[in-house]
C-alpha cells in the first residue's frame, strides 16, 4: 500500500476490521450456529431458514428508516465521527454479547443478532461516506476496490483461527463443545473488529460538511425534505440508486443466506465453512481486478459484468446437489462479490456533492437496505411456500435483471452529468 497516504490506508483498514464480522457472523459461522440452536429448540429446518430471512429483513428495515435523517445530521461538521463511533460500538459489543445467549434460545439469539446487524451496517453508512474525505474523485474506484480486497484478506486470518477451533472441538483435539467453539469465534470477531478500527478512529477526519447551526435536528429534517424535493434534479443519481436497489438486493441475500441454504441441502458444516474460506481468498484478487478494469473500461461496465455473473449463480443454484456444486457456486460468487460492491460504492461517491455525502449515502443506504428487506423475505416466503430453498434462491434472478435494465438508462458520462444536475439544483 506504498502509494496510498496514511489517511487512505487508515480508511481501508476498516474494511480489514469489519470484514471479519461479514464472513464469521453474516455468512458462515453464525448461520450454522443459529441452525443448530433452532434445531435444539425443535424448529423445522425450512422454518428456521425463513425466520433468519425475516430477521435480516427487520434489521435492515430499521436501519433503512433511520439512515436518511442520521446521514443528514452527520453532514454537519464534526458529526460524522460521532455516528460512526456509536454504530461501531453497538455492532462490536452486541457481537461479543452473542456469547451469553443460551444454546436453545433461538429467539433471543436472533434479537442480539439484529443489534449486531444494525451496528455493523450503520457504521458502514458513515464509513462509506468518509471516502469523499480521504481521497480524490479519480482515485475512488481503485481505493474502494483495494479496501474490499483488504477486507477479504484480513477476514481470512480470524476466520482460519475460528475454523481451526471449531474443527478441533469436533474432532476432540481440544476439550470444547462445538457450541463453545462457535462462541469463541464470536469473541474473536468482536475483538478483531475493535482492534483494527483504531487507525480509522485515529487518523480519518471529516473534511467536508455543512456548518453547524442552531436547532440541528429540526434543520436536518428541513435539509432532508429539501433534498427530497430536489431529487428530480438528481436524475442520474436517482436512476443509479434505483438500479442499485434491485441488484444489490440479490447480492446481499446470497451473502447472508448461502450457508443456511447449503445446510438445508444437507451439506456438512465443515465443508461449507472451508468453501467460504476459499471465497474470501479468491475474492481478494478479483476485487483488485475489478478496480483495475474499472479504470480501463469504466465502473458501469464492470457492474454489468458482476450482475451477469450473479444471474448465472441464481440459475445454477437450482441444480445444486453436492459439495462440488457448492464449490462451483462459491467460486462464481467470489469472482464478482467484492468488485460489484466496491465499484457501486465508488461510482456513487463520485456522483454525490461532497458537502452532502452523508445525506446522499443515507439515501444509498435506504435503497440498499430496503432492498435487503425484500430479498431475504422473498427467499424466506418462496422457501416456505414451495418447501424448496433452491426456488427461493432462483427467485432472485428477477432482481438482477431489473437492476441491469435500469443501468442501461444511466448516461456514459454519469459523473459529469450528476455534477451538472447538482449545480442546477442550487439555482
Q: Who wins on pLDDT, 216 or 181?
A: 181
**Range with the lowest mean pLDDT among 85-99, 155-169, 221-235, 411-425?**
411-425
pLDDT band at 227 (very low <50, low <70, confident <90, very high): low
Quote the mean pLDDT of the chain: 81
Q: Who wins on pLDDT, 236 or 76?
A: 236
Residue 18 within any structural domain of the chain: yes
pLDDT band at 424 (very low <50, low <70, confident <90, very high): very low
Q: Is 211 exposed, middle or buried (0-12, 13-18, 19+ CB in 10 A)?
A: exposed
**Range with the lowest mean pLDDT among 127-141, 181-195, 211-225, 334-348?**
211-225
In the numeric block, which cell numbers belong to residue 397? 434472478
pLDDT band at 425 (very low <50, low <70, confident <90, very high): very low
Identify which of 67, 62, 53, 59 has the alpha carbon closest to the alpha carbon of residue 375.
53
Residue 184: is its pLDDT beyond 70? yes
* Coil, helix or strand at residue 211: coil
pLDDT of residue 161: 92
Residue 212 within any structural domain of the chain: no
Task: Round to whole Å and give the CA distance between 347 and 215.
Answer: 33
* Residue 201: count of CB within 10 angstroms of its CB: 13
Q: Over the range 347-372, which residues count as b (16 or more CB within 10 Å of their CB) and which as e?
A: bbbbbbbeebbbbbbbbbbbbbbbbb
Give how far Cα 67 sits from Cα of 86, 96, 119, 370, 374, Å: 13, 24, 12, 11, 17
**Range with the lowest mean pLDDT among 208-212, 265-269, 286-290, 359-363?**
208-212
pLDDT band at 232 (very low <50, low <70, confident <90, very high): low
Q: Over the range 72-92, which residues count as b (16 or more CB within 10 Å of their CB) and which as e?
A: bbbbbeebbbebbeebbebbb
Identify which of 121, 67, 57, 61 has the alpha carbon closest to the alpha carbon of residue 91.
121
Task: Round to whole Å and give the CA distance between 368 and 252.
Answer: 9
Residue 204: which region, alpha, beta or left (left: phi > 0; alpha: psi -120 to 50)? beta
pLDDT tens, position by position, 102-136: 888 899 999 999 999 999 988 887 888 788 888 88
pLDDT of residue 422: 53
Residue 158 within any structural domain of the chain: yes
Q: What is the mean pLDDT of residues 77-106?
A: 90
Q: What is the mean pLDDT of residues 297-306?
A: 90
In the numeric block, which cell numbers belong to residue 405? 435494465
pLDDT of residue 133: 84
Domain coverage including residue 155: 6-204+217-426
pLDDT of residue 212: 60
DSSP 337-391: HHHHHHHHHHHHHHHS-GGGHHHHHHHHHHHHHHHHHHHHHHHHHHHHHHS-HHH
* Residue 108: count of CB within 10 angstroms of its CB: 13
> 376, 57 in Cβ contact below 8 A?
yes
User: Cell 458501469 identifies what position?
Assistant: 300
Residue 284 within any structural domain of the chain: yes
Residue 284: is its pLDDT beyond 70? yes
pLDDT tens, position by position, 208-223: 655 665 666 666 666 6
Residue 210 within any structural domain of the chain: no
Query: How much is the pTM?
Result: 0.71
Q: Who wins on pLDDT, 9 or 104?
A: 9
Residue 397 within any structural domain of the chain: yes
CATH code of the domain containing 107? 1.20.1250.20
Residue 341: is its pLDDT beyond 70? yes
Number of domains in the chain: 1
pLDDT of residue 174: 87
Amino acid at each position: 500500500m506504498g502509494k496510498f497516504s496514511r489517511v487512505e490506508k487508515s480508511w481501508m483498514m476498516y474494511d480489514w476490521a469489519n470484514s471479519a464480522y461479514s464472513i464469521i457472523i453474516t455468512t458462515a459461522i453464525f448461520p450454522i450456529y443459529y441452525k443448530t440452536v433452532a434445531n435444539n429448540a425443535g424448529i423445522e429446518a425450512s422454518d428456521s431458514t425463513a425466520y433468519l430471512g425475516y430477521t435480516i429483513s427487520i434489521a435492515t428495515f430499521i436501519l433503512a428508516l433511520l439512515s436518511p435523517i442520521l446521514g443528514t445530521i452527520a453532514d454537519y461538521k464534526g458529526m460524522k465521527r460521532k455516528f460512526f463511533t456509536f454504530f461501531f460500538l453497538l455492532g462490536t459489543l452486541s457481537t461479543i454479547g452473542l456469547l451469553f445467549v443460551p444454546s436453545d434460545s433461538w429467539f433471543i439469539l436472533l434479537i442480539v443478532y439484529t443489534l449486531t446487524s444494525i451496528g455493523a451496517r450503520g457504521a458502514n453508512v458513515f464509513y462509506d461516506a468518509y471516502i469523499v474525505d480521504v481521497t480524490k474523485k479519480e482515485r475512488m474506484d481503485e481505493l474502494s476496490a483495494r479496501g474490499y480486497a483488504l477486507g477479504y484478506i484480513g477476514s481470512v486470518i480470524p476466520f482460519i483461527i475460528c475454523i481451526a477451533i471449531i474443527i478441533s472441538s469436533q474432532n476432540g483435539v481440544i476439550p470444547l463443545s462445538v457450541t463453545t467453539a462457535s462462541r469463541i469465534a464470536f469473541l474473536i470477531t468482536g475483538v478483531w473488529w475493535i482492534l483494527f478500527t483504531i487507525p480509522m478512529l485515529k487518523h480519518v477526519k471529516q473534511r467536508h460538511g455543512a456548518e453547524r447551526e442552531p436547532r440541528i435536528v429540526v434543520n436536518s429534517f428541513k435539509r432532508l425534505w429539501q433534498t427530497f424535493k430536489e431529487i428530480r434534479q438528481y436524475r442520474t443519481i436517482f436512476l443509479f440508486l434505483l438500479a442499485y436497489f434491485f441488484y444489490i438486493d440479490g447480492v446481499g441475500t446470497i451473502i447472508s443466506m448461502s450457508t443456511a441454504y447449503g445446510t438445508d441441502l444437507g451439506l456438512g458444516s465443515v465443508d461449507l465453512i472451508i468453501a467460504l474460506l476459499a471465497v474470501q481468498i479468491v475474492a481478494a484478487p478479483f476485487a483488485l481486478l475489478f478496480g483495475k478494469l474499472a479504470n480501463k473500461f469504466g465502473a458501469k461496465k464492470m457492474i454489468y459484468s458482476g450482475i451477469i455473473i450473479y444471474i448465472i449463480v441464481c440459475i445454477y443454484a437450482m441444480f445444486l446437489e453436492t459439495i462440488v456444486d457448492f464449490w462451483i457456486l462459491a467460486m462464481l460468487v467470489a469472482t464478482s462479490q467484492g468488485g460489484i460492491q466496491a465499484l457501486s460504492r465508488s461510482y456513487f461517491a463520485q456522483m454525490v456533492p461532497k458537502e452532502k455525502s452523508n445525506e446522499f449515502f443515507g439515501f444509498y443506504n435506504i435503497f440498499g437496505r430496503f432492498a435487503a428487506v425484500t430479498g431475504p423475505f422473498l427467499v424466506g416466503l418462496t422457501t416456505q411456500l414451495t418447501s424448496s430453498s433452491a426456488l427461493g434462491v432462483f427467485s432472485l434472478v428477477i432482481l438482477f435483471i431489473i437492476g441491469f435494465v435500469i443501468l442501461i438508462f444511466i448516461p456514459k458520462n454519469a459523473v459529469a452529468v450528476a455534477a451538472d444536475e447538482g449545480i442546477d439544483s442550487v439555482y
